[in-house]
Structure formats: structure tokens, C-alpha cells
């Protein structure tokens, strides 16, 4: 709870910075504030406590995911320092990002559907604005418009689902809904199931799962690169945290109804994301499709709803966020130079900057799921959870689509090491290089300590 207040306060502070002339110090203040918020959050570990008439429940699950979200945002601020330097209204951008983070944290700790809805809306509305923040760029405008239209539509589905479930249960509270469904498993009215399906549609859209993923590539492609990085990491993490929390607590007694839907959607998402990513020439667009595919793997863990899938989702999101941030730090440099982000832009990087090339390779290998990177263990635990729940066909599909994934991730690695060029048109040095090394090294270190992370939850 204190974390939400701290983050919201930090957002207001960044708005005040223009009036009271401390814009120069703002960046450091935000970093310190985020670090403090992480500290506050960690202090609450193991003290599950429910606040304000059970509106939020700060349990270990909520704390783990909020700390992940805040750490990713902290890293994101480091990564996008150059973006903030070039923007004329940096403090407004920072404020919106912090408010979005506040919404994302609400989505990890809600124990009432009204909090879920408000958290989701804070996150979505901030993202609509940030997608269009490159005002003079037509693609950015298109991205914002598309995201806004589709997002508003999906929110409608979600709200309708919440309304139908409220109509049956008479409460927004997660534990009340869980108790009610537990007691009336066999005579739940049809509209309750309709409500679950509508909730699923809304959430599938937010995590960009297969039949509802059409917006993702265009929006990810058109938005400013750093904003795309934020969407691919923070927004996705928050959406999955909310998805698991909602379905594992509320509807666990009717799981036979929804696990098959999620399993089929997961299979479709993995295949669609990976196959379409192969055909992309732009690296940014390829990463957009790959993020759709990653959503499919995480949905697998949701379908295999069990105690171990919680930790598996957490580990997967850590690994995925780290390597995504690393790759996007490089993409950001490329886009700032106004270079095309065709795969060939990476040609010869291994010769001109071997360290950066090695780190990009680690990030790519982690995303592709090659041992011993963190991404491999994320996939491993998810596959294990799915196998334990009897989804053998789903695991086979996932392995197959991972193999397709390896192909396009290796295209970049191959370009770096076997490209003919001696030099590249861009340089990676200073903070971005440090950042890249950080995410590469962390991907390896986390790969070593996966057991600890999975058993944390």
C-alpha cells in the first residue's frame, strides 16, 4: 500500500519539478524514489495484510510482482535517459510513466474487481498517450489511435464480464467470488460463465494473445522505441500478474471450464507469434511478434493452474523483461541515429564491439530459451507445470514453436558474427553499453539461481 502512495507521490513530484525548477535533479530523484519504493515493498515481505475493506491484499505474490515492476521501471529509466534528454517536456513523460507504474502495481495487489479495473485503466490510458507522444510522426499517431480504439473496446468486454459476475455473486471481492463459486459449483447460472468468457476476452486482448493480437505489431512498431520497451515489459508483466491472480483465486473451482480455452489460445498465440516473426525484416517488428509468442508461453502456465505455475510465470517474466530491455537499449540507439532497423544493421558488430555483440547474443539466446540463460529455465519450469497438469500436446506445440523462434533470434546473432562489414553505423558505449552488460550478466546469474526464484512464491 505504501508503495502505491510512494509511486503516485513521485509522479506528482515530477509534475512539480517544472514549477519549482528542479528539472535537472528530477532524474536522480526518480531513481532514488523508485529504489526507496522497492525497499519499502521488500520490507513488507511475509506480512500478508489487507487494506481498506479488502480492496488490496499485499501478499508475497503482490510484493514479488510489484518489486519486479519497479525494478524494471528503474532499469527502463536508466535505459531511456537519452530519450528524456531529447524530449522538451520530460517531466510530463516521467509523470505519466510513474502513474502507469502505479496502475500496474494496483493490478498486482488488487483483491477487488474495482481495483483491477481502475489499475488497468490507469495503465492503459497512460500507454495510449505515450504511444502517440512522438506527435510529428504519423506512425506514432496511428499506433496511439489503434491502441486506443482497440483498448477501449477490450475494456468494454472486461467491464461487461465484471458486471455479469457481480450480477451473480453480488460482490466484487475476490474471496467472496471464490467462496460463492466454491459453494455453487454445480448450479452456477449461465451468465456467470458468460462473465468469465468476457473477462477472458478482455484480458487476452491486454496480453495480446492470439485471436486478439492484431493490434500488437502495429502499436509496438509505431510507438517511440523506449515506450515499446516499456509496453513489452511492464505492461505485459502487470497484465499477466492480474490474469493469474484473478483466475487462480476467483475461478479456481470452475477451472475445467476455462483451462481448455486458455490452452487453445496459448497454442494459437505461440504459433502465430513465432511464425509471423520469421517473416519480419524490421527488428522492432520482429520483437513485437516475439512478444506475442512469449505471451503464449506464459498463458501455458496459466492453463496449467497449479502451485508451481506461479513461480514459473514470475521467473519467465523476469528473464523476458531483462533480455527485452537489453535488446531495446540497442534498438533505441539505432533509431536515434534514424537508421533503418533491418537485421543487416547489426552486420559486423562483433568486430567493432565484441563485448556488446556478446551481450546482445546472450539476450537473444535467453529469449530463444537456450541453456544456461534465464529464459531457458523460465520455459523449463512452464513446460514442467504444463506437463504435470497433463497438457502434453500443448508442450509439444510449445517446443515446436520455440524451434521456430530460435531461427529468427539467431538471424541477429548471425548478422553480428558473420556480417561482412568491419564497422557499424552506430556505436554502443557509455550508459547503454553498461546497461546491456548488466542485462546480459543478470540473465546468466538468474539462470544460476532459478530454484530460489521459483520457490519464492
Partner 1 sequence: MPFSYSFYILSALSVISALFVVFSKKPVHSVLYLIFCFFTIAGHYLLLNAQFLFAVHLIVYAGAIMVLFLYTIMFINMNKEMEPHKSNLAKAGAVVAGGVLLLVVMAALKGAETIPLQAATEKNTGMVENLGMVLYNKYALPFEVASVLFLSAMVGAVLLSKKELD
Binding site for partner 1 (CB under 8 A): 4, 8, 11-12, 15, 51-53, 55-56, 88-89, 92-93, 95-96, 99-100, 102-103, 106, 112, 114-115, 118-119, 121-122, 125-126, 128-130, 132-133, 135-136, 189-191, 194
- Please give the distance of CA 91 from its chain centroid, rounded to a whole number: 24
* Residue number, 173 or 361, with CB nearest to partner 1: 173
* Residue number, 241 or 356, with CB nearest to partner 1: 241
How many Å apart are CA 141 and CA 163, to the nearest integer? 33
> Considering the complex, what minimum distance in angstroms separates the CB of residue 80 from partner 1?
16
* Residue number, 53 or 186, with CB nearest to partner 1: 53
Cα dihedral value 192, 198, 199, 204, nearest 10: 150
Asked if 270 and 397 count as a contact pair (C-beta separation under 8 A), the reply is yes
With 0-12 CB in 10 A as exposed, 13-18 as middle and 19+ as buried, what is 40?
A: middle
> Considering the complex, what minimum distance in angstroms separates the CB of residue 440 from partner 1?
33
Please work out, in degrees rounded to the nearest 5, the angle formed at the alpha carbon of residue 371 by the alpha carbons of 272 and 230.
55
C-beta atoms surrounding 402 within 10 Å: 20
Question: How far are the Cα atoms of 84, 92, 209, 364, 397 from residue 272, in angstroms, in the given order?
Answer: 35, 37, 9, 19, 12
> Considering the complex, what minimum distance in angstroms separates the CB of residue 102 from partner 1?
6
> Considering the complex, what minimum distance in angstroms separates the CB of residue 210 from partner 1?
19
Asked if 421 and 25 count as a contact pair (C-beta separation under 8 A), the reply is no
> What would the grid cell of residue 313 be?
510465470
> What would the grid cell of residue 457 be?
512464491
How many Å apart are CA 316 and CA 68, to the nearest integer? 12
Sign of the Cα torsion 365, 206, 101, 448 reads negative
> Considering the complex, what minimum distance in angstroms separates the CB of residue 101 from partner 1?
10
* Residue number, 194 or 400, with CB nearest to partner 1: 194
> Considering the complex, what minimum distance in angstroms separates the CB of residue 318 from partner 1?
26
> Considering the complex, what minimum distance in angstroms separates the CB of residue 426 from partner 1?
24
* Residue number, 238 or 283, with CB nearest to partner 1: 238
Asked if 3 and 36 count as a contact pair (C-beta separation under 8 A), the reply is no
Nearest to 69 by CA among 117, 104, 45: 104
* Residue number, 45 or 193, with CB nearest to partner 1: 193
> Considering the complex, what minimum distance in angstroms separates the CB of residue 202 from partner 1?
17
Asked if 239 and 210 count as a contact pair (C-beta separation under 8 A), the reply is no
> Considering the complex, what minimum distance in angstroms separates the CB of residue 126 from partner 1?
5
- Residues contacting residue 269 through CB under 8 Å, at least 6 positions apart: 208, 209, 210, 213, 292, 293, 295, 296, 299
DSSP percent split of the chain into helix, strand, coil, nearest 5: 80, 0, 15
* Residue number, 44 or 112, with CB nearest to partner 1: 112
Cα dihedral value 325, 68, 244, 150, nearest 10: -40
> Considering the complex, what minimum distance in angstroms separates the CB of residue 89 from partner 1?
6
Rg (CA), the chain: 21
> What would the grid cell of residue 238 be?
502487470
> Considering the complex, what minimum distance in angstroms separates the CB of residue 119 from partner 1?
7
Nearest to 402 by CA among 371, 438, 426: 371
* Residue number, 17 or 443, with CB nearest to partner 1: 17
Amino acid at each position: 500500500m505504501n508503495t502505491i502512495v510512494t509511486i503516485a507521490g513521485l509522479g506528482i513530484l515530477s509534475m512539480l519539478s517544472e514549477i519549482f525548477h528542479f528539472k535537472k535533479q528530477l532524474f536522480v530523484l526518480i531513481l532514488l524514489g523508485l529504489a526507496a519504493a522497492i525497499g519499502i515493498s521488500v520490507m513488507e515481505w511475509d506480512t500478508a495484510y489487507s487494506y481498506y475493506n479488502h480492496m488490496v491484499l499485499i501478499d508475497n505474490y503482490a510484493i514479488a510482482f510489484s518489486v519486479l515492476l519497479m525494478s524494471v521501471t528503474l532499469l527502463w529509466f536508466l535505459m531511456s535517459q537519452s530519450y528524456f534528454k531529447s524530449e522538451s517536456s520530460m517531466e510530463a513523460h516521467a509523470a505519466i510513466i510513474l502513474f502507469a507504474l502505479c496502475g500496474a502495481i494496483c493490478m498486482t495487489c488488487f483483491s477487488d474487481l474495482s481495483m483491477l479495473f481502475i489499475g488497468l485503466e490507469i495503465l492503459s490510458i497512460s500507454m495510449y498517450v505515450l504511444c502517440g507522444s512522438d506527435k510529428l510522426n504519423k506512425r506514432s499517431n496511428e499506433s496511439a489511435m489503434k491502441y486506443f480504439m482497440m483498448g477501449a473496446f477490450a475494456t468494454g468486454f472486461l467491464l461487461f464480464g465484471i458486471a455479469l459476475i457481480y450480477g451473480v455473486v453480488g460482490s466484487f471481492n475476490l474471496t467472496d467470488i471464490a467462496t460463492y463459486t466454491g459453494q455453487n459449483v454445480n448450479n452456477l447460472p449461465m451468465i456467470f460463465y458468460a462473465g468469465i468468457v468476457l473477462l477472458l476476452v478482455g484480458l487476452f486482448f491486454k496480453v495480446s494473445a492470439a485471436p486478439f493480437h492484431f493490434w500488437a505489431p502495429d502499436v509496438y512498431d509505431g510507438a517511440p522505441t523506449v515506450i515499446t520497451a516499456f509496453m513489452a515489459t511492464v505492461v505485459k508483466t502487470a497484465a499477466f500478474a492480474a490474469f493469474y491472480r484473478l483466475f487462480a483465486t476467483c475461478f479456481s473451482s470452475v477451472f475445467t471450464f476455462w483451462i481448455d480455452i486458455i490452452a487453445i489460445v496459448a497454442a494459437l498465440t505461440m504459433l502465430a507469434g513465432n511464425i509471423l516473426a520469421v517473416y519480419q525484416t524490421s527488428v522492432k517488428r520482429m520483437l513485437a511478434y516475439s512478444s506475442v509468442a512469449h505471451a503464449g508461453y506464459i498463458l501455458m502456465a496459466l492453463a496449467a493452474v497449479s502451485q508451481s505455475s506461479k513461480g514459473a510465470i514470475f521467473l519467465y517474466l523476469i528473464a523476458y523483461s531483462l533480455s527485452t530491455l537489453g535488446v531495446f537499449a540497442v534498438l533505441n540507439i539505432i533509431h536515434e541515429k534514424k537508421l533503418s532497423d533491418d537485421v543487416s544493421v547489426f552486420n559486423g558488430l562483433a568486430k567493432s564491439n565484441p563485448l556488446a555483440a556478446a551481450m546482445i547474443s546472450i539476450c537473444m539466446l535467453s529469449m530463444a530459451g537456450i541453456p544456461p540463460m534465464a529464459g531457458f529455465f523460465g520455459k523449463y519450469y512452464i513446460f514442467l507445470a504444463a506437463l504435470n497438469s497433463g497438457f502434453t500436446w500443448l508442450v509439444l506445440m510449445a517446443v515446436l514453436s520455440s524451434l521456430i523462434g530460435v531461427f529468427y533470434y539467431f538471424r541477429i546473432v548471425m548478422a553480428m558474427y558473420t556480417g561482412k562489414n568491419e564497422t557499424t553505423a552506430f556505436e554502443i558505449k557509455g550508459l547503454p553499453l553498461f546497461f546491456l552488460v548488466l542485462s546480459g550478466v543478470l540473465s546468466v546469474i538468474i539462470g544460476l539461481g532459478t530454484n530460489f526464484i521459483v520457490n519464492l512464491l
